[in-house]
């Protein structure tokens, strides 16, 4: 069991000791998406959803989720984040309406912020669903994945995206 970083000598879960790791600037960017109807798209953009400004609430939810990732993911370390940003872009093609959600997180510390970025993007997508479900419960939350990561011993990661 000693080859597994998140298990102790008894084979039980543990949080990895990062006290000896060097503090560096660390960033991560993740993406999620949600497919929705034209009606929802129009109401979001017109600001006429009954629950309020969908993107503003989703943005705050994503930021709050990033700050509380260690409460959701058992082996994550609580981190003091230095910055979190959520942006939204629309992909509209062939009658499909997809909201792309990008979450960027930054800290200076001993461990990375990949999970915080992924959690932020996911929470923002879930919030959009929650605020729009009265109109359509058939919305689809899409793939969620890491785009980039910088800092730390493992170095940089940049996802190879087709067409880029």
Q: Which of 17, 130, 136, 164 is catalytic?
A: 130
Q: Cα separation of 69 and 64, whole Å? A: 9
130 carries an active-site annotation: yes
Burial of 135 (0-12, 13-18, 19+ CB in 10 A): middle
Q: DSSP assignment, residue 73?
A: S
Count other C-beta atoms under 10 Å from residue 19's C-beta: 6
Q: Cα separation of 127 and 124, whole Å? A: 5
Q: Which residues are catalytic?
A: 130
């Amino acid at each position: 069991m000693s080859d597994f970083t998140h298990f102790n000598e008894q084979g039980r879960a543990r949080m990895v000791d990062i006290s000896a790791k060097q503090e560096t600037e660390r960033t991560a960017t993740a993406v999620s998406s949600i497919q929705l109807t034209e009606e929802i798209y129009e109401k979001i953009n017109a600001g006429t959803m009954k629950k309020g400004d969908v993107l503003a609430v989703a943005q705050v939810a994503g930021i709050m989720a990033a700050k509380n990732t260690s409460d959701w993911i058992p082996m994550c370390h609580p981190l003091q984040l230095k910055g979190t940003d959520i942006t939204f872009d629309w992909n509209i093609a062939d009658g499909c309406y997809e909201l792309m959600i990008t979450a960027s997180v930054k800290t200076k510390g001993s461990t990375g912020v990949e999970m915080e970025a992924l959690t932020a993007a996911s929470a923002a997508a879930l919030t959009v669903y929650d605020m729009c479900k009265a109109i359509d419960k058939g919305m689809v939350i899409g793939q969620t994945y890491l785009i980039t990561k910088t800092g730390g011993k493992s170095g940089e990661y940049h996802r190879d995206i087709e067409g880029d």
